[in-house]
Structure 1
Amino acid sequence: MSDERTTRTAVRTITDLARLAGVSPGTVSRALAGKSLVNAKTREKIEAIAREHGFRPNQMASGLRRQKTGVIGVAIPLGHDVRQQISDTFFMTLLGHLADELTLEGYDLMLRRVVPEDDPDWLDRFIGSGMIDGVIVIGQSDQFVRIEDVADGYLPMVVWGNHQQGQRHCVVGTDNRLGGRMAAERLIAAGARRIAFVGDTTPIEFAARFAGAEDVAQRMGADIVALPTHLSPDRASDEIARHLAAADGRIDGIFAATDTLAALCLTALRDRGIAVPDTVRLVGFDDLPIARQTVPPLTTVRQDIAAGARGMVQLLLRRLAGEETESLVLPPQLVIRQSS
């Protein structure tokens, strides 16, 4: 009898129930709320386990979740590079614009840096915390499937990332494949024929940038190779130096996945006595403030980050009002400076 009591009293939270059912906490929450997006067999299994253990969702907590908090959650998942920092210039630029837009709309911002391998249910727990009215996710990282699953039953969520045909979650972001094409076209027009893509192709956005550059290289008879490089500054500098040493003069063009990586490439090239753009042409991506401050200034593919932030907030407000919205894909713009 004591064993039975111990088993029954062990189920105190939705997370406990999810563990027994072999599903995510978000699925349990949606099933107990009667959401039709959870299939009947799964819902019946969850309800049966809940009855067996005498589990009832906390009604006060449920009531609090239905009240407005005036807070929007912003999550940055780092599944592809757990050592990347929120102080990264891209994150800080986008967060600044988001904070401005949310403040104008009367909302506060709650920020979470997430390492998914340590917290697989990070998104379910965040939206089920009762502390936020909606969520903005910055970057899909390697979490596309997790985000898609949550989007099935949770409307007030907008993601900064890359749009793919048929996806269910609402995304705002640049046409990364087109941006990659622009970068490669510029490098080849400047005389490059042996191009290195410096970056990690695991994140969906970077993979699209590389694919676009690869399209152009194949069409125009140039070679391109991906050189995996982390975004965390304590690793990227050493990795870029090793890439250049291994290349030993065999590359004459670099497409860096971000302006931050492009700036590190400039430093590494200078350290090796390689002239930019005379010997190696260089193109970045983002058009962050640093792109105008390097020597030489960076040619880059511009993302309109301010417009993206406005778009994310406006779409989220519409979704908070119960409206299904389409994704927003922004056009990239090639900004030619002196590095190419």
Structure 2
Amino acid sequence: MPDRDTKGTVRNITDLARLAGVSPGTVSRALAGKTLVNAKTREKIEALAREHGFRPNQMASGLRRQKTGVIGVVIPLGHDTRQQISDSFFMTLLGFLADELTQHGYDLMLRRVVPDEDADWLDRFIGSGMIDGVIVIGQSDQFDRIEDVADGYNPMVVWGNHTEGQRHCVVGTDNRLGGRLAAERLIAAGARQIAFLGDTGPMEFAARFAGAQDAAARLGLPRVMALPTHLSPERASSEISGHLAAHGGYVDGIFAATDTLAALCLTELRNKGLSVPEDVKLVGFDDLPIARQTVPPLTTVRQDIAAGARGLVDLLLRRLAGETTESLVLPPELIVRKTA
């Protein structure tokens, strides 16, 4: 029979969770008296905490006494494990976040995680003692994991899509409205069979796709066709080429989930001898710097990434001060250029 840990070896919630055979989030909720944890599990966790001299408020009070001056920024890539932090959207948002955090006297610690390889990625980061709070960039396919942690950990803000009733605090664009704006622009430019280029699994992209469907249905057009496409450029280019080979003579309007995908799509359309916007109308999403540099310049839906970064930092600092904050949903803006 293995030796039990002796009293005093439980240094944090992660250690206690390992002993109890549950997640750190469950331990956090149990010690906070949350009713979401069943009585038997809560009693077991409380007994282990007493046995090892771990006070229920030990972690929280320790964080208040021992500030690290570091904010953790984590990017979960459960939906597309080959996507890189060098993606233009990530780099743009990270730049604004770094500026905001530095202005408020904080350093930034960045982590890219593949959740399938690290199921407790968020709990372990929070329980590491290395950060004062955390910003999660993108919900990926980790909505339930983030919700779970939010029940017992207040200084966390997420960039992503807001859903009615969710418990975690989010900053992001009204993606469904942005999708409607994109499809309406394609239709106004003459498109009648629209395709959505991207992965409809992640929450933000799913909302953009749903918004495009809303617009097509309201205006009596066929359903928007989903063309699943990864975000890593080496995969996306070949996938877009395949989509165009299969549907290029049928689709006359493309709504790309990101400007990066739209730029790759422009190249593949040119390779197929299709002209934009004469043969195919194209709209992107984000309004990254690349949108003004493509030939022709890209019509896109702008999300205010700078304002989003300010919102993420502002809400996180307020939550570090003990406030309970509401989510911030930013309005999208259609930017009409030459592709639609």
Q: TM-score range by the shorter chain?
A: over 0.9
Normalising by structure 2, report the TM-score.
0.92
Please name the residue that 1:25 is paired with: 24
AA in 2 matched with 1:296: P
Please name the residue that 1:222 is paired with: 221
Answer yes or no: is the 8 Å Cα contact 1:71–1:133 preserved in 2.
yes
1:62 Cα deviation after fit: 7.7
AA in 2 matched with 1:143: Q
AA in 2 matched with 1:240: I
Please name the residue that 1:8 is paired with: 4
1:27 Cα deviation after fit: 2.1
The 1:39/1:140 distance shift into structure 2, 3 A limit, reads same
Equivalent residue runs for 1:178-197 within 5 Å: 178-197=177-196
| 2:159 maps to 1:160 | yes
Secondary structure of 1:117's aligned partner: helix
Equivalent residue runs for 1:81-92 within 5 Å: 81-92=80-91
Unpaired runs of 5+ in structure 2? none
1:28 Cα deviation after fit: 2.0
Q: Distance in 2 between matches of 1:56 and 1:228?
A: 52
Q: Distance in 2 between matches of 1:17 and 1:133?
A: 20
AA in 1 matched with 2:174: D
1:233 Cα deviation after fit: 1.1
CA deviation string 1:94-151 (max 9, x = no partner): 0000000011111000000011111111111111111111110000001111111111
Please name the residue that 1:303 is paired with: 303
Q: Distance in 2 between matches of 1:74 and 1:56?
A: 31
1:25 Cα deviation after fit: 1.8
Answer yes or no: is the 8 Å Cα contact 2:28–2:152 preserved in 1.
no
Please name the residue that 2:123 is paired with: 124
The 1:64/1:115 distance shift into structure 2, 3 A limit, reads same
The 1:217/1:320 distance shift into structure 2, 3 A limit, reads same
The 1:31/1:221 distance shift into structure 2, 3 A limit, reads same
Q: Distance in 1 between matches of 2:58 and 2:312?
A: 31
Equivalent residue runs for 1:148-297 within 5 Å: 148-223=147-222, 224-297=224-297
AA in 1 matched with 2:95: G
Answer yes or no: is the 8 Å Cα contact 1:159–1:171 preserved in 2.
yes
Answer yes or no: is the 8 Å Cα contact 2:29–2:37 preserved in 1.
no
The 1:165/1:30 distance shift into structure 2, 3 A limit, reads closer
Number of residue pairs the alignment of both structures matches:
333
Answer yes or no: is the 8 Å Cα contact 1:72–1:134 preserved in 2.
yes
Q: CA RMSD in A?
A: 2.1
Answer yes or no: is the 8 Å Cα contact 1:37–1:153 preserved in 2.
no
The 1:240/1:104 distance shift into structure 2, 3 A limit, reads same
The 1:37/1:60 distance shift into structure 2, 3 A limit, reads closer
AA in 2 matched with 1:171: V
Q: Distance in 2 between matches of 1:10 and 1:257?
A: 53
Q: Distance in 1 between matches of 2:37 and 2:250?
A: 55
Answer yes or no: is the 8 Å Cα contact 1:174–1:330 preserved in 2.
yes
Answer yes or no: is the 8 Å Cα contact 2:158–2:168 preserved in 1.
yes
1:218 Cα deviation after fit: 1.1
Secondary structure of 1:172's aligned partner: strand
Normalising by structure 1, report the TM-score.
0.92
1:9 Cα deviation after fit: 4.0
Quote the sequence identity (%): 76
Q: Distance in 1 between matches of 2:35 and 2:47?
A: 18
1:267 Cα deviation after fit: 0.4
Unpaired runs of 5+ in structure 1? none
Answer yes or no: is the 8 Å Cα contact 1:65–1:131 preserved in 2.
no
Answer yes or no: is the 8 Å Cα contact 2:26–2:37 preserved in 1.
no
The 4+ residue runs of structure 1 with deviation greater than 6 A are: 58-63
CA deviation string 1:185-210 (max 9, x = no partner): 00001110111100001110000000
Secondary structure of 1:260's aligned partner: helix
Answer yes or no: is the 8 Å Cα contact 1:72–1:107 preserved in 2.
yes
The 1:9/1:265 distance shift into structure 2, 3 A limit, reads same
Please name the residue that 1:43 is paired with: 42
Secondary structure of 1:239's aligned partner: helix
AA in 2 matched with 1:8: R
Secondary structure of 1:158's aligned partner: strand
The 1:179/1:10 distance shift into structure 2, 3 A limit, reads farther
CA deviation string 1:146-170 (max 9, x = no partner): 1111111111111000111111111
